Homo-oligomer: A and B are copies of this chain.
Amino acid sequence: MKLEITCTRAEANHKQLLNCMSTLNSMDVSLEKTSKLLSIAGNEVRLKILFLLNMENELCPCDLADILKMSVPAISQHIRKIKDAGIITARREGQTLYYSLNEDKTDILNSIFKSIKPKIKIA
């Protein structure tokens, strides 16, 4: 991929484009981390898992499989992704693993939870 500017519009402000590139460059780490978090939550099953953990405080894979009507391995694999992203942690009690959201949950996550609303407003 060549690094040259291809836009030939008279209006194309090269200074603006270069400024955009340099800003993106300085935001690189943050953009990558943010898109990673969003890709985790950007799956309906995982979003439900996160939403449920926020609501119930902690749940085990078996509970989640029941609630979401999915197989335990399917749930477990989603959990692994969420855990690998550093969003949740497990607490063991016997054979059962209880997962819960980490305390340092991000503003984005909080804003996501706030925006999820029931379809009918209870009067």
Contacts and interface: CB of A to CB of B under 8 A. Distances in A.
Q: What is the size category of the interface that chain A forms with chain B?
A: 35 or more
A12 B41 CA distance: 26
Interface string A16-30: 110011011011111
Contact of A117 (B5, B12, B30): B30
Given A30-B118, A62-B12, A66-B6, A20 B107 contact: no
B7 A56 contact: no
B65 A44 contact: no
Main secondary structure of the interface of A (DSSP, over half): helix
Contact of A107 (B42, B63, B111): B111
A35 B41 contact: yes
Contacts of A6: 62, 65-66, 72
Contacts of A17: 63, 66-67
A115 to B, nearest CB: 5
A105 to B, nearest CB: 12
Nearest to A118: B26
Top-8 shortest CB links A-B:
A39-B42, A42-B42, A38-B42, A111-B111, A7-B62, A26-B118, A35-B44, A35-B47
